[in-house]
Chains A and B, each alone.
Chain A
Amino acid sequence: MPGKSFFIDTSLCTACKGCQVACKQWHDLPAEKTVNRGTYQNPADLSFVTYKLVRFNETVVDGKLKWLFFPDQCRHCLEPPCEMTAEDPGAIFRDPATGAVLFTAYSKDIDTQEVIEACPYNIPRTARDGTLAKCDMCNDRVRNGLLPACVKTCPTGAMNFGDRDEILVMAKNRLATVKKTCPKAKLLDPDDVRVIYLVTEDPMLYHSFAVASNSAFDISRKVALNKLLRPLTRLTAGL
Protein backbone atom coordinates (compact mmCIF):
# COMPACT_ATOMS: atom_id res chain seq x y z
CA MET A 1 0.00 0.00 0.00
CA PRO A 2 1.85 3.13 -1.18
CA GLY A 3 1.18 6.74 -0.22
CA LYS A 4 1.81 8.56 3.02
CA SER A 5 1.02 7.93 6.67
CA PHE A 6 1.23 9.57 10.10
CA PHE A 7 2.58 8.00 13.25
CA ILE A 8 1.25 9.76 16.37
CA ASP A 9 3.10 8.64 19.48
CA THR A 10 0.90 9.76 22.37
CA SER A 11 3.56 8.59 24.84
CA LEU A 12 5.62 11.61 23.70
CA CYS A 13 2.73 14.08 23.50
CA THR A 14 2.79 16.87 26.11
CA ALA A 15 -0.49 18.37 24.85
CA CYS A 16 1.18 21.68 24.01
CA LYS A 17 -1.42 22.02 21.21
CA GLY A 18 1.20 23.23 18.76
CA CYS A 19 -0.34 20.88 16.16
CA GLN A 20 -3.83 22.24 16.77
CA VAL A 21 -2.71 25.85 16.33
CA ALA A 22 -0.38 25.17 13.38
CA CYS A 23 -3.31 23.46 11.63
CA LYS A 24 -5.54 26.50 12.14
CA GLN A 25 -2.77 28.83 11.10
CA TRP A 26 -1.94 27.06 7.84
CA HIS A 27 -5.61 26.66 6.86
CA ASP A 28 -6.46 30.28 7.83
CA LEU A 29 -9.24 29.07 10.13
CA PRO A 30 -10.77 31.40 12.71
CA ALA A 31 -10.67 30.90 16.47
CA GLU A 32 -13.77 29.68 18.27
CA LYS A 33 -15.31 31.30 21.31
CA THR A 34 -14.76 28.95 24.24
CA VAL A 35 -15.82 28.77 27.88
CA ASN A 36 -13.99 27.34 30.87
CA ARG A 37 -15.30 23.79 31.22
CA GLY A 38 -12.68 22.71 33.75
CA THR A 39 -10.38 21.21 31.11
CA TYR A 40 -7.64 22.40 28.82
CA GLN A 41 -9.45 20.73 25.91
CA ASN A 42 -10.46 23.76 23.91
CA PRO A 43 -12.53 24.06 21.83
CA ALA A 44 -14.71 21.27 23.20
CA ASP A 45 -14.87 19.35 19.93
CA LEU A 46 -13.80 19.27 16.30
CA SER A 47 -15.79 21.61 14.06
CA PHE A 48 -16.00 23.00 10.55
CA VAL A 49 -13.12 25.32 11.49
CA THR A 50 -11.20 22.97 13.81
CA TYR A 51 -9.66 20.00 11.98
CA LYS A 52 -7.25 19.00 14.73
CA LEU A 53 -8.01 18.82 18.44
CA VAL A 54 -5.90 17.66 21.37
CA ARG A 55 -8.27 15.75 23.64
CA PHE A 56 -7.51 15.74 27.38
CA ASN A 57 -8.73 13.00 29.69
CA GLU A 58 -8.04 12.53 33.38
CA THR A 59 -8.52 9.02 34.63
CA VAL A 60 -7.31 6.70 37.38
CA VAL A 61 -5.61 3.46 36.31
CA ASP A 62 -4.49 0.99 39.00
CA GLY A 63 -4.81 3.66 41.69
CA LYS A 64 -2.66 6.15 39.75
CA LEU A 65 -3.82 9.35 38.14
CA LYS A 66 -3.24 9.39 34.38
CA TRP A 67 -3.61 12.48 32.24
CA LEU A 68 -4.11 11.17 28.72
CA PHE A 69 -3.60 13.29 25.61
CA PHE A 70 -5.02 12.40 22.21
CA PRO A 71 -4.30 14.68 19.21
CA ASP A 72 -7.44 13.77 17.26
CA GLN A 73 -7.77 14.16 13.48
CA CYS A 74 -9.01 12.39 10.34
CA ARG A 75 -7.37 8.96 10.01
CA HIS A 76 -7.34 9.00 6.19
CA CYS A 77 -8.66 5.42 6.04
CA LEU A 78 -7.15 3.13 3.41
CA GLU A 79 -10.72 2.34 2.34
CA PRO A 80 -12.71 5.32 3.56
CA PRO A 81 -16.36 4.74 4.52
CA CYS A 82 -17.04 8.47 3.92
CA GLU A 83 -15.90 8.19 0.31
CA MET A 84 -17.95 5.06 -0.17
CA THR A 85 -21.06 6.62 1.35
CA ALA A 86 -20.76 9.82 -0.68
CA GLU A 87 -20.44 7.93 -3.97
CA ASP A 88 -19.45 11.23 -5.54
CA PRO A 89 -15.76 11.74 -6.29
CA GLY A 90 -16.48 15.39 -6.97
CA ALA A 91 -17.31 15.76 -3.27
CA ILE A 92 -15.05 13.20 -1.56
CA PHE A 93 -12.05 11.64 -3.24
CA ARG A 94 -8.59 10.29 -2.52
CA ASP A 95 -5.35 11.70 -3.86
CA PRO A 96 -3.73 8.61 -5.41
CA ALA A 97 -0.23 9.93 -4.73
CA THR A 98 -0.58 10.50 -0.98
CA GLY A 99 -3.73 8.61 -0.04
CA ALA A 100 -5.21 11.76 1.50
CA VAL A 101 -9.00 11.63 1.77
CA LEU A 102 -10.24 15.03 0.61
CA PHE A 103 -13.57 16.85 0.89
CA THR A 104 -14.40 19.51 -1.69
CA ALA A 105 -16.88 22.40 -1.73
CA TYR A 106 -19.28 20.09 -3.61
CA SER A 107 -19.71 18.10 -0.39
CA LYS A 108 -22.67 20.36 0.41
CA ASP A 109 -24.60 18.66 -2.40
CA ILE A 110 -24.35 15.14 -0.93
CA ASP A 111 -26.11 13.57 2.04
CA THR A 112 -23.71 14.90 4.66
CA GLN A 113 -25.54 13.26 7.57
CA GLU A 114 -24.94 9.86 6.02
CA VAL A 115 -21.26 10.65 5.57
CA ILE A 116 -20.92 11.84 9.16
CA GLU A 117 -22.59 8.71 10.48
CA ALA A 118 -20.43 6.51 8.27
CA CYS A 119 -17.18 7.75 9.82
CA PRO A 120 -15.89 5.20 12.33
CA TYR A 121 -13.89 7.95 14.05
CA ASN A 122 -16.56 10.69 14.19
CA ILE A 123 -14.48 13.22 12.25
CA PRO A 124 -16.42 15.15 9.55
CA ARG A 125 -18.23 18.36 10.57
CA THR A 126 -20.58 20.59 8.58
CA ALA A 127 -20.72 24.31 8.06
CA ARG A 128 -24.07 26.09 8.22
CA ASP A 129 -24.51 25.71 4.46
CA GLY A 130 -23.90 21.96 4.73
CA THR A 131 -20.34 21.84 3.38
CA LEU A 132 -18.21 19.17 5.03
CA ALA A 133 -14.75 19.79 6.42
CA LYS A 134 -11.97 17.88 8.14
CA CYS A 135 -8.19 17.38 8.09
CA ASP A 136 -6.87 17.39 4.49
CA MET A 137 -3.43 15.94 5.39
CA CYS A 138 -2.10 19.36 4.30
CA ASN A 139 -2.14 17.76 0.87
CA ASP A 140 -0.98 21.04 -0.70
CA ARG A 141 2.11 21.02 1.51
CA VAL A 142 2.77 17.31 1.12
CA ARG A 143 2.52 17.46 -2.69
CA ASN A 144 5.09 20.27 -2.57
CA GLY A 145 7.57 18.37 -0.43
CA LEU A 146 6.65 19.90 2.92
CA LEU A 147 5.48 18.14 6.08
CA PRO A 148 1.88 18.64 7.24
CA ALA A 149 1.70 21.74 9.47
CA CYS A 150 0.90 19.68 12.60
CA VAL A 151 3.87 17.36 12.08
CA LYS A 152 6.32 20.10 11.24
CA THR A 153 5.49 22.10 14.36
CA CYS A 154 5.55 19.21 16.87
CA PRO A 155 8.37 19.92 19.35
CA THR A 156 8.43 16.47 21.00
CA GLY A 157 8.43 14.06 18.06
CA ALA A 158 4.94 12.77 18.87
CA MET A 159 3.74 13.67 15.34
CA ASN A 160 5.54 11.88 12.50
CA PHE A 161 4.85 11.69 8.77
CA GLY A 162 6.35 9.92 5.79
CA ASP A 163 6.04 7.12 3.26
CA ARG A 164 3.67 4.49 4.58
CA ASP A 165 6.16 1.61 4.68
CA GLU A 166 8.69 3.67 6.61
CA ILE A 167 6.03 4.93 9.04
CA LEU A 168 4.86 1.37 9.71
CA VAL A 169 8.43 0.33 10.54
CA MET A 170 8.83 3.38 12.78
CA ALA A 171 5.55 2.59 14.57
CA LYS A 172 6.43 -1.06 15.16
CA ASN A 173 9.92 -0.25 16.43
CA ARG A 174 8.61 2.42 18.76
CA LEU A 175 5.90 0.08 20.04
CA ALA A 176 8.56 -2.51 20.94
CA THR A 177 10.48 0.13 22.91
CA VAL A 178 7.44 1.57 24.70
CA LYS A 179 6.11 -1.88 25.60
CA LYS A 180 9.14 -2.44 27.85
CA THR A 181 7.86 0.23 30.25
CA CYS A 182 4.16 0.28 29.29
CA PRO A 183 3.02 -3.29 28.66
CA LYS A 184 -0.47 -2.12 27.64
CA ALA A 185 0.93 -0.07 24.75
CA LYS A 186 -0.51 -0.72 21.31
CA LEU A 187 -1.03 0.72 17.83
CA LEU A 188 -4.57 1.68 16.85
CA ASP A 189 -5.96 0.14 13.64
CA PRO A 190 -2.55 0.21 11.90
CA ASP A 191 -3.74 -1.87 8.93
CA ASP A 192 -6.84 0.21 8.20
CA VAL A 193 -5.77 3.84 8.46
CA ARG A 194 -3.02 6.26 7.51
CA VAL A 195 -2.96 7.94 10.92
CA ILE A 196 -1.57 5.39 13.34
CA TYR A 197 -1.70 6.19 17.04
CA LEU A 198 0.43 4.60 19.74
CA VAL A 199 -1.35 4.58 23.12
CA THR A 200 -0.12 3.27 26.46
CA GLU A 201 -3.52 2.63 28.05
CA ASP A 202 -6.91 1.31 26.94
CA PRO A 203 -7.77 3.48 23.90
CA MET A 204 -11.31 4.05 25.22
CA LEU A 205 -9.80 6.02 28.12
CA TYR A 206 -8.37 8.53 25.61
CA HIS A 207 -11.43 9.05 23.44
CA SER A 208 -14.55 7.02 22.69
CA PHE A 209 -13.73 7.14 18.96
CA ALA A 210 -10.01 6.41 19.34
CA VAL A 211 -10.43 3.06 17.56
CA ALA A 212 -13.06 1.97 15.06
CA SER A 213 -14.47 -0.21 17.77
CA ASN A 214 -17.68 -2.14 17.64
CA SER A 215 -17.81 -2.86 21.33
CA ALA A 216 -21.54 -2.08 21.28
CA PHE A 217 -21.98 -5.25 19.24
CA ASP A 218 -19.89 -7.45 21.47
CA ILE A 219 -18.57 -9.08 18.30
CA SER A 220 -15.31 -8.55 16.50
CA ARG A 221 -15.03 -6.67 13.23
CA LYS A 222 -13.89 -9.80 11.47
CA VAL A 223 -16.86 -11.84 12.64
CA ALA A 224 -19.19 -9.09 11.56
CA LEU A 225 -17.68 -8.97 8.11
CA ASN A 226 -17.75 -12.70 7.65
CA LYS A 227 -21.15 -13.56 9.01
CA LEU A 228 -23.43 -10.57 9.07
CA LEU A 229 -22.56 -8.50 6.10
CA ARG A 230 -21.82 -10.85 3.30
CA PRO A 231 -24.96 -9.90 1.37
CA LEU A 232 -24.01 -6.25 1.52
CA THR A 233 -20.41 -6.85 0.49
CA ARG A 234 -21.56 -8.82 -2.51
CA LEU A 235 -24.07 -6.17 -3.45
CA THR A 236 -21.55 -3.36 -3.28
CA ALA A 237 -18.91 -5.34 -5.11
CA GLY A 238 -21.32 -5.80 -7.99
CA LEU A 239 -21.71 -2.07 -8.60
Chain B
Amino acid sequence: MHMKVTRRKFIQISGAAAAGLAATGLGFDLSPVRAHAQMLKTKYAKETTTICPYCAVGCGAIVHTSKKGDGRVINIEGDPDHVINRGSLCSKGAGLSGLIENENRLLEPMYRAPYANEWKQVSWGWALTEIAKRVKATRDASFERKNAKAQVVNRTTAIASVGSSAMDNEECWTYQALMRALGLVYVEHQARI
Protein backbone atom coordinates (compact mmCIF):
# COMPACT_ATOMS: atom_id res chain seq x y z
CA MET B 1 0.00 0.00 0.00
CA HIS B 2 1.44 3.36 -1.02
CA MET B 3 0.04 6.67 0.16
CA LYS B 4 1.18 10.23 -0.27
CA VAL B 5 1.32 11.73 3.22
CA THR B 6 1.49 15.51 3.34
CA ARG B 7 2.98 17.16 6.37
CA ARG B 8 -0.43 18.46 7.49
CA LYS B 9 -1.99 15.01 7.30
CA PHE B 10 1.00 13.43 9.03
CA ILE B 11 0.78 15.78 12.00
CA GLN B 12 -3.00 15.50 12.13
CA ILE B 13 -2.98 11.80 12.73
CA SER B 14 0.13 11.73 14.87
CA GLY B 15 -0.45 14.94 16.79
CA ALA B 16 -2.99 13.78 19.29
CA ALA B 17 -0.83 10.92 20.48
CA ALA B 18 2.46 12.77 20.68
CA ALA B 19 1.56 16.29 21.71
CA GLY B 20 0.82 15.77 25.35
CA LEU B 21 4.17 14.13 25.88
CA ALA B 22 6.28 16.51 23.88
CA ALA B 23 5.30 19.83 25.34
CA THR B 24 5.29 19.16 29.05
CA GLY B 25 7.99 19.95 31.54
CA LEU B 26 10.18 22.25 29.47
CA GLY B 27 10.79 24.37 32.51
CA PHE B 28 10.03 27.92 31.32
CA ASP B 29 8.48 30.36 33.74
CA LEU B 30 5.58 31.89 31.85
CA SER B 31 3.89 33.66 34.73
CA PRO B 32 4.43 37.27 33.44
CA VAL B 33 3.01 36.38 30.03
CA ARG B 34 0.05 34.67 31.64
CA ALA B 35 -0.61 37.46 34.11
CA HIS B 36 -0.76 39.93 31.24
CA ALA B 37 -3.18 37.75 29.32
CA GLN B 38 -5.53 37.74 32.29
CA MET B 39 -5.84 41.52 32.67
CA LEU B 40 -9.33 42.60 31.69
CA LYS B 41 -9.41 45.69 29.48
CA THR B 42 -12.58 46.83 31.24
CA LYS B 43 -11.12 46.45 34.73
CA TYR B 44 -10.90 50.16 35.52
CA ALA B 45 -13.73 51.30 33.25
CA LYS B 46 -16.96 53.03 34.21
CA GLU B 47 -20.10 51.03 33.39
CA THR B 48 -23.23 52.71 32.01
CA THR B 49 -26.34 50.95 30.75
CA THR B 50 -27.96 51.89 27.46
CA ILE B 51 -30.43 50.63 24.87
CA CYS B 52 -29.25 49.51 21.43
CA PRO B 53 -30.51 52.09 18.89
CA TYR B 54 -30.73 49.80 15.89
CA CYS B 55 -34.02 47.86 15.92
CA ALA B 56 -37.36 47.48 17.65
CA VAL B 57 -36.23 44.67 19.95
CA GLY B 58 -34.61 47.23 22.27
CA CYS B 59 -31.77 45.16 23.71
CA GLY B 60 -29.93 46.40 26.78
CA ALA B 61 -26.20 46.99 26.64
CA ILE B 62 -23.39 47.99 29.00
CA VAL B 63 -21.01 50.72 27.85
CA HIS B 64 -17.50 50.63 29.34
CA THR B 65 -15.85 54.05 29.24
CA SER B 66 -12.39 55.13 30.26
CA LYS B 67 -12.02 56.84 33.61
CA LYS B 68 -8.80 58.48 32.45
CA GLY B 69 -10.48 61.76 31.57
CA ASP B 70 -11.09 61.33 27.88
CA GLY B 71 -14.13 59.18 28.65
CA ARG B 72 -13.75 57.24 25.40
CA VAL B 73 -15.61 53.97 24.87
CA ILE B 74 -13.52 50.86 25.56
CA ASN B 75 -16.17 48.20 25.08
CA ILE B 76 -19.92 47.73 24.60
CA GLU B 77 -21.56 44.39 25.26
CA GLY B 78 -24.95 42.94 26.13
CA ASP B 79 -26.42 43.65 29.57
CA PRO B 80 -27.00 40.28 31.30
CA ASP B 81 -29.54 41.91 33.65
CA HIS B 82 -31.67 43.27 30.82
CA VAL B 83 -35.04 41.55 30.53
CA ILE B 84 -35.15 41.64 26.72
CA ASN B 85 -31.81 40.15 25.67
CA ARG B 86 -30.19 38.82 28.88
CA GLY B 87 -26.70 39.72 27.70
CA SER B 88 -26.95 38.71 24.06
CA LEU B 89 -26.58 41.01 21.05
CA CYS B 90 -26.78 40.37 17.30
CA SER B 91 -23.99 41.40 14.93
CA LYS B 92 -25.21 45.00 14.69
CA GLY B 93 -25.52 45.35 18.44
CA ALA B 94 -22.22 43.58 19.05
CA GLY B 95 -20.57 46.19 16.83
CA LEU B 96 -22.06 49.16 18.69
CA SER B 97 -18.70 50.54 19.81
CA GLY B 98 -17.82 50.97 16.13
CA LEU B 99 -20.54 53.61 15.91
CA ILE B 100 -18.66 55.82 18.36
CA GLU B 101 -15.00 54.87 18.10
CA ASN B 102 -14.71 55.08 14.34
CA GLU B 103 -12.20 56.99 12.24
CA ASN B 104 -14.83 57.39 9.51
CA ARG B 105 -17.26 59.11 11.83
CA LEU B 106 -18.13 62.72 10.91
CA LEU B 107 -17.31 65.05 13.78
CA GLU B 108 -18.24 68.36 12.10
CA PRO B 109 -21.26 69.27 9.95
CA MET B 110 -20.71 69.12 6.20
CA TYR B 111 -22.40 71.33 3.60
CA ARG B 112 -22.93 70.82 -0.10
CA ALA B 113 -24.28 74.00 -1.75
CA PRO B 114 -26.84 73.74 -4.58
CA TYR B 115 -25.08 72.65 -7.83
CA ALA B 116 -21.81 72.12 -5.99
CA ASN B 117 -20.22 68.70 -6.38
CA GLU B 118 -18.14 68.77 -3.21
CA TRP B 119 -18.87 68.74 0.49
CA LYS B 120 -17.15 71.29 2.66
CA GLN B 121 -16.77 71.39 6.40
CA VAL B 122 -18.76 74.15 8.14
CA SER B 123 -19.14 75.25 11.75
CA TRP B 124 -22.02 74.13 13.94
CA GLY B 125 -23.01 77.78 14.40
CA TRP B 126 -23.23 78.39 10.67
CA ALA B 127 -25.10 75.12 10.02
CA LEU B 128 -27.71 75.61 12.75
CA THR B 129 -28.29 79.25 11.80
CA GLU B 130 -28.63 78.32 8.13
CA ILE B 131 -31.11 75.53 8.89
CA ALA B 132 -33.15 77.85 11.15
CA LYS B 133 -33.16 80.58 8.51
CA ARG B 134 -34.40 78.27 5.77
CA VAL B 135 -37.01 76.56 7.96
CA LYS B 136 -38.35 79.95 9.04
CA ALA B 137 -38.46 81.26 5.46
CA THR B 138 -40.24 78.17 4.10
CA ARG B 139 -42.59 77.94 7.03
CA ASP B 140 -43.58 81.66 6.92
CA ALA B 141 -44.10 81.54 3.16
CA SER B 142 -46.28 78.42 3.28
CA PHE B 143 -48.11 78.86 6.59
CA GLU B 144 -51.90 78.40 6.42
CA ARG B 145 -53.97 79.81 9.25
CA LYS B 146 -57.26 78.51 7.87
CA ASN B 147 -58.24 75.88 5.34
CA ALA B 148 -60.77 76.19 2.49
CA LYS B 149 -63.67 75.64 4.91
CA ALA B 150 -62.36 78.50 7.09
CA GLN B 151 -61.44 76.10 9.88
CA VAL B 152 -58.34 77.06 11.91
CA VAL B 153 -55.47 74.69 10.95
CA ASN B 154 -52.23 76.63 11.64
CA ARG B 155 -50.15 74.33 9.43
CA THR B 156 -47.49 74.10 6.77
CA THR B 157 -47.50 71.36 4.16
CA ALA B 158 -44.23 72.57 2.63
CA ILE B 159 -42.00 70.86 5.18
CA ALA B 160 -41.91 67.20 6.14
CA SER B 161 -39.94 65.38 8.81
CA VAL B 162 -38.65 61.85 8.30
CA GLY B 163 -36.90 60.00 11.14
CA SER B 164 -35.13 59.18 13.19
CA SER B 165 -35.47 55.49 13.94
CA ALA B 166 -32.60 55.71 16.40
CA MET B 167 -34.42 58.13 18.72
CA ASP B 168 -35.90 56.86 21.96
CA ASN B 169 -39.35 57.64 23.36
CA GLU B 170 -38.33 60.79 25.24
CA GLU B 171 -36.33 62.20 22.34
CA CYS B 172 -39.32 61.56 20.06
CA TRP B 173 -41.61 63.53 22.38
CA THR B 174 -39.33 66.57 22.33
CA TYR B 175 -38.88 66.33 18.59
CA GLN B 176 -42.61 65.92 17.96
CA ALA B 177 -43.35 68.98 20.12
CA LEU B 178 -40.93 71.08 18.05
CA MET B 179 -42.33 69.88 14.72
CA ARG B 180 -45.95 70.48 15.76
CA ALA B 181 -45.04 73.95 17.08
CA LEU B 182 -43.74 74.81 13.61
CA GLY B 183 -47.04 73.60 12.11
CA LEU B 184 -45.78 70.45 10.43
CA VAL B 185 -48.38 67.78 9.64
CA TYR B 186 -46.11 65.38 7.76
CA VAL B 187 -44.17 63.94 10.67
CA GLU B 188 -43.01 60.43 9.85
CA HIS B 189 -41.05 58.18 12.15
CA GLN B 190 -40.05 54.55 11.99
CA ALA B 191 -40.88 54.04 15.65
CA ARG B 192 -38.71 51.35 17.17
CA ILE B 193 -37.56 51.89 20.68
Q: What is the interface of chain A, defined by CB distance below 8 A to chain B?
A: 16-22, 24-26, 28, 31, 77-81, 83-85, 87, 89-90, 93, 95, 102, 104, 114, 117-120, 136, 139-141, 143-144, 146-147, 149, 152-155, 192, 212, 214, 216-218, 221, 224-225, 228-229, 232-233, 236-237, 239
User: What's the nearest-Cβ distance from chain B to residue A166, in Å?
Assistant: 19
Total residue contacts A-B, CB cutoff 8 A: 162
Chain B interface residue count, CB cutoff 8 Å, equals: 48
Taking CB atoms, residues of chain A closer than 8 Å to B92 are: 21
User: What's the nearest-Cβ distance from chain A to residue B116, in Å?
Assistant: 29
Q: Which residues B33-81 have CB closer than 8 A to chain A? A: 33-34, 37-41, 43, 75-78, 80
List, sorted by A's number, 13 A–B pairs whose CB atoms are closer than 8 Å: A16-B91, A20-B91, A21-B92, A22-B77, A22-B94, A78-B16, A136-B37, A139-B37, A140-B37, A149-B94, A153-B87, A154-B88, A229-B13
Of the stretches B4-12, B153-161, B179-187, the one at the interface is B4-12
B21 touches A236 (CB 8 A): yes
With beta carbons under 8 angstroms apart, the residue of A18, A83, A120, A212 that contacts B90 is A18
A80 touches B19 (CB 8 A): yes
Indicate whether A233 sits within 8 Å of B89 (C-beta atoms), given known contacts A25-B75, A217-B13.
no
Taking CB atoms, residues of chain A closer than 8 Å to B87 are: 147, 152-153
B41 touches A140 (CB 8 A): yes
User: Which 8 A-B pairs give the minimum distances between C-beta atoms?
Assistant: A81-B15, A84-B19, A79-B19, A236-B18, A22-B94, A118-B11, A224-B13, A21-B94
Closest to B3 in A: A217
Indicate whether A118 sits within 8 Å of B88 (C-beta atoms), given known contacts A25-B94, A139-B37, A239-B22.
no
Taking CB atoms, residues of chain A closer than 8 Å to B94 are: 18-19, 21-22, 25, 149, 153
Taking CB atoms, residues of chain B closer than 8 Å to A229 are: 13-14, 17
Closest to A15 in B: B91
Residue in B14, B23, B88, B96 with the greatest tally of chain A CB atoms within 10 Å: B23
With beta carbons under 8 angstroms apart, the residue of B20, B28, B78, B90 that contacts A89 is B28
Taking CB atoms, residues of chain A closer than 8 Å to B75 are: 25-26
CA of A80 to CA of B77 in the docked complex: distance in angstroms? 31
B26 at the interface (CB under 8 A from A): yes
User: What's the nearest-Cβ distance from chain B to residue A137, in Å?
Assistant: 10
CA of A143 to CA of B8 in the docked complex: distance in angstroms? 32
A84 touches B88 (CB 8 A): no
User: What's the nearest-Cβ distance from chain B to residue A191, in Å?
Assistant: 9
B23 touches A83 (CB 8 A): yes
Closest to A139 in B: B37
